[in-house]
Amino acid sequence: MQYFVQQLINGLTLGSIYGLIAIGYTMVYGIIGMINFAHGDIFMVGAFTALIVFLVLGALFYSVPVVIALLVMMIVAMLLTSLYNWTIEKVAYRPLRGSFRLAPLITAIGMSIALSNFVQVTQGPRNKPIPPMVSQVYNINGISVSLKQIIIVVVTALLLALFWYLVNKTSLGRAQRACEQDRKMAALLGIDVDRTISITFIMGAALAAVAGTLFLMYYGVIAFSDGFTPGVKAFTAAVLGGIGSLPGAVLGGLMIGFIESMWSAYFSIDYKDVAAFSILAIVLIFLPSGILGRPEVEKV
């Protein structure tokens, strides 16, 4: 039982990170109906920005309290990563809006390749390890919970609450939901569609940057190629939950996190990704539009 709860906590941590990335996929998909393949690399750029900020802080000041360091890393990563996603949307996706469906998919794949190789060229191909920032571990009834895990879950919960408020209670969120339902109608009613889409990309990137910072803090290492696997997992999570649905993305992220940690704990760690992908396929056979997704109705 203790072992099971332990795995549940590990899964929750992992699932929080996936959920944060998955929201970026699902929001962009909801609003413009494209798979933003570069999102995994945006996550990696966020983690790398946090790494560089961490090193700069270390070089400039003798010692920085961990809370302030994390906060600064997170904020700088959110700002710069948003700038990246904003620029990418403007350069690579906006000119192709209204073009056929595969065109932005290909530019997104191109941007993903370009981003990861840009980081490789400028920062080198090696893994970048940092010394552990937070190392306290609490022991409750034989279940060990590290402070890192608590930070991840708490930060994720806070951000999700803020995000839920933004989408459901503000005029910005209303504009987003309107664009999601009918872009042309929203434009006719005076909503600046371009601006709303830009803000959607910025929000997705900011969440991915937080996920990147938390990832860096949790694992203590990042490399230029680390965007792909979490990106694909988060995308899987978004589809599993029903792409376009925000609660679905979080649910899917948590599910993928649980599946991975349970499978590695009880079966084989080698096949944890195979398990996650297979469960995706099985779920989609029975629920072709994900767990919380609305079925696509085609009008003739």
Partner 1 sequence: MAVTVSPERDTVATPVQRALKEGFYAGAISLGLFVLFIGLKTGQNISNELVVTTRWGLLAAVVIATAVGRFLYVAYGQPFMANQKIADVATGLLPGSVASRFFQLPAFVVAAVAAVLLFVFNSSLAGWVGAEPAGYLQFLRALAVIYVLACVIYYFRAFIHANFTKLGITALVLYPILVVAVLSLNAWSITGGLQGSLKWVDNFGIQILIYVMLAWGLNIVVGLAGLLDLGYVAFYALGAYAYALLATQFGLSFWILLPAAGAMAALWGVLLGFPVLRLRGDYLAIVTLAFGEIIRLVLINWREVTNGSAGISGIPKVSFFGLMSFNVSDPNYIAKVLGIVQSGAYYKIFLYYLILGLCLLTAFVTIRLRRLPVGRAWEALREDEIACRSLGINTTTTKLTAFATGAMFGGFAGSFFAARQGFVSPESFVFLESAIILAIVVLGGMGSLVGIAVAALVMIGGTEALRELDFLKQVFGQDFTPELYRMLLFGMAMVIVMLWKPRGFVGSREPTAFLKERRAVSSSFTKEGHG
Q: Would you tell me which residues interact with partner 1 (CB under 8 A)?
A: 29, 35, 37, 48-49, 51-53, 55-56, 59, 80, 83-84, 87, 91-92, 95-96, 99-103, 105-107, 109-115, 117-124, 126, 128-131, 228, 232, 235-236, 239, 243, 270-271, 273-274, 277-278, 280-281, 284-285, 288-290, 296, 298, 300
- Quick one: 49 exposed, middle or buried, by C-beta within 10 A (0-12, 13-18, 19+)? buried
Q: Which residue has the tokens 């996603």?
A: 85
Q: Least distance from C-beta 141 to partner 1, angstroms? A: 35
Which residue, 173 or 248, has its beta carbon nearer to partner 1? 248
Sign of CA dihedral 223, 229, 232, 233: negative
Determine the distance from the C-alpha atom of residue 144 to the mean position of all C-alpha atoms in its chain, rounded to a whole number. 26
What's the DSSP call for residue 227?
Answer: G
* Distance of alpha carbon 290 from alpha carbon 247, whole angstroms: 12
Q: Tell me the closest approach of the beta carbon of residue 273 to partner 1, in angstroms.
A: 5
Instruction: Report, in Å, the least distance between residue 211 CB and partner 1.
Output: 18
d(CA 291, CA 246): 12
Residue whose C-alpha is closest to residue 178's, from 169, 191, 162:
191
Nearer to partner 1, 157 or 274 (CB): 274
Q: Which is nearer to partner 1, 26 or 156 (CB)?
A: 26
Shortest Å, Cβ 300 to partner 1? 6
Nearer to partner 1, 83 or 161 (CB): 83
State which residue, 79 or 153, has the beta carbon closest to partner 1: 79
Q: What's the CA gap between 134 and 288, in Å, rounded?
A: 42
For partner 1, which is the closer residue by CB, 107 or 200?
A: 107
| 15 or 231: CB nearest partner 1 | 231
Q: Going by DSSP bridges, is the β-strand pair 143-146/221-222 parallel, antiparallel, or unpaired? A: unpaired
Q: In the 3-class helix/strand/coil scheme, how is 12-77 assigned residue by residue?
A: HHHHHHHHHHHHHHHHHHHHHCCCCCCHHHHHHHHHHHHHHHHHHHHHHCCCCCHHHHHHHHHHHH
Least gap, CB of 198 to partner 1 (angstroms): 13
